[in-house]
Amino acid sequence: MLFNSYLFIAFFVAVYSAYLLLQRSHRAQNRLLLAASYVFYGYWDWRFLSLIGASTLLDYFVGRSLYASRDARRRLNSRCTRGC
């Protein structure tokens, strides 16, 4: 699906409309965007969906572990003090 095709324009309008309808639930908006991105990339080449899925899972679990780790949150939030 090319960005300058009519198919993309229809896809974009459909996703954006659904996104606006889900204004009250940010979680539902995020899930919609995730599913829409999988559809978009899957339309281009379905073989890369496993790579995108693996990347999504890895990023999700790394983010959860960083959030759970008090030390990691402190390091991420602190200012760089040694010549960064």
User: Rounded mean pLDDT of 4-32?
Assistant: 94
Whether pTM exceeds 0.85: no
> What is the rounded CA–CA span in Å between residue 57 and residue 59?
6
Q: Is the pLDDT of residue 32 over 60?
A: yes
Q: What is the pLDDT of residues 39-66, one digit of tens each?
A: 999 998 889 899 999 999 999 998 888 8
Q: What pLDDT, on the 0 to 100 scale, is given for residue 84?
A: 52
Q: Is the pLDDT of residue 18 over 80?
A: yes
Q: What pLDDT, on the 0 to 100 scale, is given for residue 71?
A: 74
> What is the rounded CA–CA span in Å between residue 55 and residue 21?
28
Q: Any idea where the domains of the chain sit in the sequence?
A: 6-74
DSSP code for 38? H
